[in-house]
Structure 1
């Protein structure tokens, strides 16, 4: 399988016909993976990608698609990390991928392999709508030696009447061929009576009730009514969430109405709207998805506007050939009155076992977002966090102009904090380092460097501290600066070799060890570590030579002797 990474809208729109073919072929596709929905949604995403799979690189048509989004988050003590999320998160009712059924197994493996070429700490699989078979195959493609997988618990939800709602449960109603059969087979006696009464009440003139449907011609008025009603009922309870839903809806819903995939019934009492539903239509799969709804809480009747609209919607769905009435997340008791069934749609997360980004660096695609976060910290006076963000950016792109400029500004602002002899501050930082207070030691080293950027010992010790913390990229930057400050230091080159070896940059590691040995031919540690890299590269004879030289310099070098013995044992299976 061959994977292309699509990240430009012109390229995405060129996939329209191919996407629709795969969508039609995939029995696990859902409305939120339809072409017109996902293309519209991605218009407002900051950093999105579509992984597109072909059977062969030379093929013209793709057989699978996976939309994803890349984000950055700041974690105290670590700095920025990357999060990958599925394409429709967090607005879509369901998320997932599309694939031709016959290509599913190979496509899932190809997707997993490609995702591991990005740099991320977490891969969030929110509301992932996928068969158990596909989901198992996808999760297993992330090796347990490198990744953990877990279910993410949703926030507890206790309603005002004491219902404990499980939002892992999604509720849907299978529909019959005709409405009367459906009512008889799916409703209990009381609900059946109430449903028939509701539908009679809708047409009884004395009730002054009516239902209209939003159209492209009326949508501006109708959506404005919905936004106002929804915000009064829900938005004011959670203003930030409410703003997100309304902003996203204003972007998505007009295009979906014009496309003909929104059913928006409005229940009126006289000239006042008292209930409105937003329902997405998937004619291909004969499915209706109740997405958003709201009602006028001041409107009082024996039957609620919501119940009346559901009854009307169910009848409309059956009369128009739909087979599924999807009521979305949450096992509210009223849903079961309508003859519903349940399915579990969980939130899952795949994470690196290291607790850091893959490759221990920011993803290059996210540097713009990272810079935005750095500027946010800087403007709010958190110079330490802003500087950390800049250093993370520069570890990926050492010529990044904005990060270079901002870091210089921050260091200039911080520089006056250090008073007195820098050597005294350096020695104090070393003592904190020895005592295990890494945060204080790091701050001390950086204080010295802020006034003496070429202070070799501070740069060298900071590199070792960052290595101790697991920040390999930061350590590499520091040790390079130490070498610039003192290019004759064999120990700095040896440390550089150790860091590059941990980064699996073996050629650079060997070059650093060789330079350390050239500067100090008696540097036994550099010789031993050089031997370790040569062993990893399968160059056992050269490794033995390095170990022998280390032992000749220091006959009591026990670790070199152990490494030499291990190399000899390995050579039993290595051709001479």
Structure 2
């Protein structure tokens, strides 16, 4: 067996012929595993992939399993964890995999072996047919000595069992259906209501067209919201958005029927039924009804007309999908059961302690967002996990270095910046941040070397020029600092950074000259002439080297507050930037 991976819509398009053939052959296939439904559903989503199985020597694929990766951050460990789930989850009432008949076990074994080589903490198998052996075969590859296996059934405050899926096997005629599937009382009521609607000019049933679909869906969700908004809470808007998106896709593919029951101009109820013409199945997906209207019952009428139309059009199944609500049993249903299982690593961490490759960029972006929000304790594990999974991820290293600066751990930041510069020696923005970190630690001589090297390559970086002057001043090299500050007068620019730095440099020159003059007057006898500070070549002095105390500016109290002549501030900040972006965020 050979598995190929498809994770783009272009690749998915190429396997449609094989997919459609297996879909027709597989007795367990359903609309939510159809190529048509998945193609639209996946087009709105990310980090999905399809496992395509092929037997050795066979030109055609024999099985498909659509999957999706999602990621969450563990609240206790703050580590990011990956979850692999069925690709149609949250839109589909059934999932599973497609397979050519007779190869079910071999396909399940091949799929589970591949999944075992992926990095994940949680593996979710939702909405598999209970009558099928496919789920058990998949689960067998994850023994409970190495993984935990638990039921993943969702609780329901309305006491509805969503593992039960009622459905009607439709006979050849409407009259046969009424005679064999309904009680005498319900049959009589339905006949009476249907005659009322068909005979009265005040009642009518419309079906959505391209001109009315938006209006009809608006009506559906307006009525649905009235009933469910309180129970669904903050999720209601997102549920409506995603469901509407899916229904519109189905409608545009000719796979959705939206009947609306009207009394004059008042909509009483709306159904949204998905149509699977290949499997001759109608799937009732969602409804909205006027809760103030009682007789005739909008739900009974709409489903009655929908079932009659389905029989007339040759459909064989009317599926009410998940949930054993009492009203469904008025239509003479049978029950199909589904189950959901959750497999989890015993450690609560991803297998191999690495992120899933499909999650690396997602976790990096999430770490950057947390960093922007100031949640450093939550951002740091993300940066670290990205680096552990992909050591060459320079943006994560850069982001982690900035985070260390924000935490005040400037030595760690310096180490990371130097590592980045070893592989990207021309990265000026990283070199700028390295100088900032060195300044923050009071390593002014090293910072001066860093800024001077950067300025040699980029002489128009005014902020770097100013910081170089500050660093030189803080190491006691006043004449060199003075030369740097006065050099702003030789540069013509209307850049805001330059103008700001030039103003600060002008102030620094005044105070630095006064400080140097004061030092000259403090030189002890017998020498009565001012001390001459020799002009230094452009070779910077290490902070560990000592200068004559009579010509050194004090360098006590390092870190962010170097002792400088009054008015010379190291707290000039770079243009604002975000974690993971260019520019300096540390103030000096």
Residue 13 in 1 paired to residue 13 in 2?
yes
SS across alignment from 2:320: strand
CA positional deviation for 1:416: 6.4
SS across alignment from 1:126: strand
CA distance in 2, matches of 1:126, 1:104: 18
Contact 1:172 1:341 in 2 (8 A): yes
- TM norm structure 1: 0.68
- Cα RMSD, aligned residues only: 2.1
Total equivalences in the alignment: 413
CA distance in 2, matches of 1:301, 1:224: 22
Q: Deviations over 1:220-263 (max 9, x none)?
A: 33233323333333345425432222222332222311222112
Residue 248 in 1 paired to residue 242 in 2?
yes
Name the residue aligned to 1:103.
103
CA distance in 2, matches of 1:409, 1:126: 41
CA distance in 1, matches of 2:219, 2:156: 30
Name the residue aligned to 1:233.
227
Q: How does 1:537-548 map to 2 (within 5 A)?
A: none
Residue 282 in 1 paired to residue 276 in 2?
yes
Q: Deviations over 1:356-406 (max 9, x none)?
A: 211121111101111232123223322011001110111011221332122
Which is greater in Rg? 2
Residue 344 in 1 paired to residue 337 in 2?
yes
Name the residue aligned to 1:64.
63
CA positional deviation for 1:121: 0.8
Q: Deviations over 1:283-335 (max 9, x none)?
A: 2222111001111223x232321111111111111111112111121111111
Larger mean Cα displacement after TM superposition, 387-396 or 240-249: 240-249
- TM norm structure 2: 0.67
CA distance in 2, matches of 1:344, 1:379: 47
SS across alignment from 2:209: coil
Residue 371 in 1 paired to residue 370 in 2?
no
CA distance in 2, matches of 1:273, 1:354: 54
CA positional deviation for 1:217: 4.0
Name the residue aligned to 1:532.
none
CA distance in 2, matches of 1:218, 1:26: 36
Q: How does 1:91-240 map to 2 (within 5 A)?
A: 91-129=91-129, 131-158=131-158, 164-205=159-200, 208-235=202-229, 237-240=231-234
Contact 1:45 1:69 in 2 (8 A): no
Contact 1:80 1:370 in 2 (8 A): yes
CA distance in 2, matches of 1:10, 1:88: 19
Runs of 4+ in 1 over 4 A off after TM superposition: none
SS across alignment from 2:304: helix
Contact 1:71 1:369 in 2 (8 A): no
SS across alignment from 1:278: strand
Residue 408 in 1 paired to residue 401 in 2?
yes
Relative to 1, partners in 2 of residues 1:322 and 1:168: Cα closer, same or farther, differing over 3 Å? same
Structure 1 gaps, min length 5: 159-163, 419-449, 453-576
Contact 1:215 1:257 in 2 (8 A): no
CA distance in 1, matches of 2:392, 2:133: 46
Contact 2:170 2:177 in 1 (8 A): yes
Q: How does 1:467-486 map to 2 (within 5 A)?
A: none
SS across alignment from 1:145: coil
CA positional deviation for 1:345: 1.1
SS across alignment from 1:142: coil
Name the residue aligned to 1:359.
352
CA distance in 1, matches of 2:145, 2:39: 36
Name the residue aligned to 1:483.
none
Contact 1:198 1:311 in 2 (8 A): no
Residue 394 in 1 paired to residue 393 in 2?
no
